[in-house]
Amino acid sequence: IFTNGLMLNETRLRKIADAKADIILSIDGTQKESYEKIRKGATYENLIRILTRIKEFTQTPGNEIKVQINPVIMRSNYKELEGFIKMAAKYGIYAVTFSPIRGIFGDENIFDSQDAEAFSFIRENMPSVKKLARDLGVRLNDWLPVDQTPVSKTTEPTPSLMENDKLFCHSPWQRLTIDNMGSVRPHIFCLNKSIGNVDNMSLEELWNSPGIREYRRRIINRDHEGLCQPECINGQVAENTRDIE
């Protein structure tokens, strides 16, 4: 379940645990100023209360929920990378996935503009961020394209994933992801190839649409160009993130 967590209470956490679902929290700031700037209308104090509630719930025997944090990295928070790892460790969250902001968000989109200062900071600090994650026992998925390669460009796959019989991604058979404009893709990490929009299509229509069938067909055929992130192709993303059990 993707959620900002603001409505999670004991009852809802119990239902999630009973459904054996996992939680991916959209948290885009580790400090009061950045969090409240990005998450309009929310308060940092309430976020901390919710994270404390989640930790207490998940540490109770029988409440087996895996919780991840998915920060969308932008101008307002790119200097908080270590903070997200520390937050995860403090509140018993097992994984953090850094995703680049997408779309038209003015000065916040440091990736489309390939902002030199932001890219330099991320490149220089990511090794220590990864070491911190290892030291604290937090799984880190780094999806930030700071090597000057546009987000939409893929690289050649490694033979380990593409030359065997195992599909490298199950997401088109497992989920639909809706962005803030109603556009739908199989997964939040898929490239910007929409299969439709919830404004004019039902979930059933989207699930059986030509677009989602194209994703399935092309993944089966290893035809990933312009469709899949290079990190998925190259095996840099954990299998459970690609819906592989």
Residues 111-132: pLDDT tens digits?
A: 888 899 999 999 999 999 999 9
pLDDT band at 169 (very low <50, low <70, confident <90, very high): confident
- List C-alpha distances in Å: 6 to 44, 70, 130, 133, 207: 11, 15, 28, 25, 28
Gap between the terminal Cα atoms of the chain: 16
Average pLDDT for 49-72: 94
Note the maximum CA span of the chain.
Answer: 49
Provide the pLDDT for residue 150.
Answer: 41
Q: pLDDT by residue (tens digit) across 175-230?
A: 888 876 789 999 877 876 899 999 999 999 999 999 999 999 998 998 888 888 77
What CATH number belongs to 2-142? Answer: 3.20.20.70
Highest mean pLDDT among 84-88, 147-151, 182-186: 84-88
Going by their DSSP bridges, the two strands 23-25 and 139-142 should be labelled as: unpaired
What was the pLDDT predicted at 236? Answer: 60
With 0-12 / 13-18 / 19 or more C-beta atoms within 10 angstroms meaning exposed / middle / buried, residue 164 is: exposed
Chain region(s) in the chain for CATH 3.20.20.70: 2-142
Give the position of tokens 């956490």: 13
Residue 222, pLDDT score: 87
Average pLDDT rounded to a whole number, residues 157-170: 60
Q: Which two tokens stand for residue 118?
A: 């932001």
Classify 183 in phi/psi space as left (phi over 0), alpha (psi -120 to 50) or beta.
Answer: beta
